[in-house]
Amino acid sequence: MTDKLLIAQEGAIATLTLNMPETRNALTDADLCDAVVDAMGRIAADQSVRCAILTGAGLAFSSGGNLKHMQEKHSIFAGDAIEAKDAYRTGIQRMARAIWHCEVPLIAAVNGPAYGAGCDLACMCDIRIAATNATFAENFARVGLISGDGGAWLLPRQIGLSRAAEMTFTADPIDADTALAWGLVSRVVAPEALLPEALDLAGRIARNPPRQLRMAKRLIREGMTTRLESVMELAAAYQGACQQTEDHAEAVDAILEKRPPVFSGR
């Protein structure tokens, strides 16, 4: 595991920190993308993890693309059109898929600017909390590019087509309060309160049964693209499975006995 991504786990909560402050956590670094993909796989495979937090080291959440890489035709900006397409598919798009399909609830703790692919990265997470100094921009047009990481699919689903189009076509940044008003983030807190707030929220998520949390996330994801009938059919199957778990029985017993539940993940 590279030191470009730091991973810490306390109890049932994992915290992932993009650790390239010298590039403002630019996502065009192949090692960083690979590390995120690997981390998502490890988290999904670890039943002890019930919630994860993603944040950035330094002053930015993520600046998106590295301008020096663009200028020098390095990394995903190297080669001809076919080579660039392949680099996107095996690099940042692979990262986007890994985050989106990770079954563990994921909170983005946005500690500063989230620009371009950095904004899209936040949108890949289930919940976003922003510090007051956070800003968001779908600013690909400023560098003569388009979103190559799924942002055109992700952003409209978070804030609606009109506002997503405004952010995309103008490339203008929005501040944290606007992001809150538009529904891009769930809450805005002081910078020093960001990680404590994210950890508190993660703790309230992690106190619930882990298998049910993962199934609930899958249902929400399916509900974004699937017919109601299909989601209800899947929900019926999941509910049948949930009703057979020890955690369901423990939850009911704990409520009736007026005590905190102790979930085993079974």
Q: What is the pLDDT of residue 84?
A: 78
Residue 66 in tokens: 């590295």
What are the φ and ψ backbone dihedral angles of 134, each rounded to 5 degrees?
-75, 145
| Residue pair 44/83 in contact by the 8 Å Cβ criterion | no
Whether pLDDT at 69 is above 80: no
Residue 237 has pLDDT above 60, yes or no: yes
For position 1, what pLDDT does the model report?
Answer: 52
- CATH 3.90.226.10 residue ranges of the chain are 5-206
Using 50, 70 and 90 to split pLDDT, how confident is the model at 210?
very high
Q: Answer for the pair 77, 26: CB distance below 8 angstroms, yes or no.
A: no
Q: Tell me how far CA of residue 174 lies from CA of 6, 134, 163, 178, in angstroms.
A: 28, 9, 11, 6
> Distance of alpha carbon 67 from its chain centroid, rounded?
23
pLDDT band at 71 (very low <50, low <70, confident <90, very high): confident
What is the pTM for the complete model shown? 0.93
* Per-residue pLDDT reduced to its tens digit, 17-42: 999 999 999 998 889 999 999 999 99
- Percent of the chain whose predicted confidence (pLDDT) is above 90: 83
Instruction: Evaluate if residue 56 carries a pLDDT over 70.
Output: yes
Q: Which CATH superfamily is domain 5-206 in?
A: 2-enoyl-CoA Hydratase; Chain A, domain 1 (3.90.226.10)
| Cβ atoms of 185 and 179 closer than 8 Å | yes
- In the chain, CATH 1.10.12 sits at 210-256
Residue 189 phi, psi dihedral angles, 5° rounding? -135, 165
Domain 210-256: give its CATH code: 1.10.12
Residue 7, phi then psi, degrees to nearest 5: -125, 125
DSSP letter assigned to residue 22:
G
Does the pLDDT of residue 112 top 90, yes or no? yes
Residue corresponding to tokens 């609930």: 216
